[in-house]
Structure 1
Amino acid sequence: MNFIPKGIIPPIITPLKDDGEVNFPVLRQLVNHLIENGVHGLFPVGTTGEFYAFNNETYRKILEMVKEEAAGRVPVYGGANHITTRGVIELIKICEEVGVDAVSVLTPMFISQTQEELYDYFATIAASTTLPIVLYNNCPKTNITISPATVAKLADIDNIVAVKDSTGDMTNTAEYIRLTIEKNFSVLMGRDTLIYAALCYGATGAVASCANVAPRITADIYDKYMSGDMKGALDAQFVLAPLRIACSMGTFPAVIKEGLVQEGIPVGKCLEPIAELKPEEKEKLHKVLTEMGLV
């Protein structure tokens, strides 16, 4: 399989109206805003997109709109996350029907799998589709990690093309790269403060939530690195870091949504029970965005 996940891929937030329904006109606005500011892919209905909040009908509509509005300008990665293998396969069938370019599959939530079970989970899912699959390790959220040895074994399956590492553990990311470097396989960074470091090790890009709010700055990390401007890439990484650190102020992805609202893109609030930022937190975020030149 020749598909190579690369560049800065924002896991795009899902704009919501006051009644909790998806705000599709604002979703179109966001898609164009991100592409016009240099991102290299779009990843709807991931963790940043509150995937857990929507039924399959709404899931399909979100994917269709992102795919339609992207219009082939960048690849679209559909999030396909569920607690069961058959649930993921059902979502992937929707992704196939919509025509996304690849799918990202998170480890199952709540249940605690062995590495053997994780291997079988991803291998069974891969066998159900011809779409390129990106493994997704978000251990801080799921409490389940995909070990480097398991990733190296899964990398031998033709349509498992990459892993996104959101552990924040650079040693883990480096091991993913070291053990798959001779294979047709990519590693994507999932911690926004470590994009530059991951590129130095050989990652092909990042799935970066902060790219929703700072797409051009985040894209600069990758673009400048690839052009050989190492200082410019590192400078962009340092500019981005305070925004990612500010995300600890609220329950994820409340800071990302509030950042977009402060930039004038009316994406609304997160679905309850995630609370809106407190006034003093909004003020702190506004200061960060001002210093970054975003508001």
Structure 2
Amino acid sequence: MTLPARLTGVIPPVCTPLTPDGEVDTASLIRLVDHLTGAGVDGLFVLGSTSEVAFLTDAQRRTVVETVAGHAGGQVPLLAGAIDMTTPRVLDHARTALAAGADAVVATAPFYTRTHPAEIERHFRLLARQVEAPVIAYDLPVSVHSKLTAELVTGLAADGALAGLKDSSGDQGVLRDILLGAPDGFSVLTGSEVTVDAAHLMGVHGVVPGLGNVDPHGYVSLVRRCADGDWAAARAEQERLVALFAMVHVGAPARMGRGSSGLGAFKTALRLRGVIDHATLAEPQIPLSDDEVAKVARLLATAGLL
């Protein structure tokens, strides 16, 4: 579908359900898409961090895009991550995702290799010239070890090289500078689950919440309350979601990383809610224990989701 002039609203980064043997569980993925679109989300973002994109093979990435596009194509905009270490690899992923049905691509700066700011700018300009679809920058310095500056983003936006930004940097000062300096039509989306109300008060156009897989209705309600200017109600809903977000910390840090804990919690919650069949994580991530699963269940119950 043709993207709207500006992406807005709730665009969840869709989890990738896996079978116990690690393959894409397409039946569960379709149910998850229905769970999200049925809640009234405004778009879908596959192959991002919450999708475990770094763990998926090229064939699995294509399966995800084909499955979601084939089931929900045309209902809402479909964004697909084209995330890899260098520009040629990102271009390959972008072309594959677009051929599989994506409407736009989301790309980080290059990583693993050492890059200069001029090379990061060149990377995005090359994508803009060679990808026949809107390109959205993904600012994720915790993973790619490069922070996108406001000057870089607004300059690329002004030249039409970027259609939007997904900001997962946590740097609210730079986010405000981008909002003030970006041209009309440029989409600024926050990746923070816990500051959506504050970000909308600042002027962002939408949210890409991993927790939105678990409670899409909550985020749709939150964003609508922000749009209506009902900030007291927005704050109350945000605080309920903050309490639910505590599930990402249930995994014991002595035996697993933050990714295993957070993604394991999201998938466990989706399984407990009957949306997906298994909470399998891609290797070598570590599954939650029975006690940790029980903690997720209690948080869901407290939030009114079980």
- What is the TM-score when the length of structure 1 is the normalising length? 0.94
Matches within 5 A, 1:202-221: 202-221=203-222
- Alpha carbons of structure 1 residues 76 and 247: separation in structure 2 relative to 1, 3 Å: same
- Alpha carbons of structure 1 residues 25 and 156: separation in structure 2 relative to 1, 3 Å: same
Query: SS in structure 2 opposite 1:21?
Result: coil
CA separation in 1, counterparts of 2:185 and 2:43? 20
CA separation in 2, counterparts of 1:205 and 1:132? 17
Equivalent position of 2:163 in the other structure: 161
- Between 193-202 and 94-103, the greater mean CA deviation after superposition: 94-103
- Residue identity over aligned pairs, in percent, reads 29
CA-to-partner distance for each residue in 1:70-108, whole Å, 9 max, x for gaps?
A: 132111101110101001111111122123221111222
CA-to-partner distance for each residue in 1:138-169, whole Å, 9 max, x for gaps?
A: 11222221111111111123251111111122
Query: SS in structure 2 opposite 1:73?
Result: coil
Matches within 5 A, 1:1-295: 3-180=5-182, 182-250=183-251, 251-252=258-259, 253-265=263-275, 266-295=277-306
Query: SS in structure 1 opposite 2:44?
Result: coil
Conserved? CA contact 2:154–2:181, under 8 Å: yes
- Alpha carbons of structure 1 residues 106 and 267: separation in structure 2 relative to 1, 3 Å: farther
CA separation in 2, counterparts of 1:25 and 1:107? 33
Query: SS in structure 1 opposite 2:236?
Result: helix
Conserved? CA contact 2:250–2:295, under 8 Å: no
- Alpha carbons of structure 1 residues 105 and 173: separation in structure 2 relative to 1, 3 Å: same
- Between 35-44 and 94-103, the greater mean CA deviation after superposition: 94-103
Which sections of structure 1, spanning at least 5 residues, go unmatched? none
CA-to-partner distance for each residue in 1:244-288, whole Å, 9 max, x for gaps?
A: 233133432121111111212224311121111123322222221
Q: CA deviation at 1:220?
A: 1.0
How many residue pairs get matched?
Answer: 294
Q: CA deviation at 1:209?
A: 0.4
CA separation in 1, counterparts of 2:137 and 2:128? 10
CA RMSD of aligned residues (A): 1.6
Which sections of structure 2, spanning at least 5 residues, go unmatched? 252-257
What amino acid maps onto 1:158 in structure 2? G
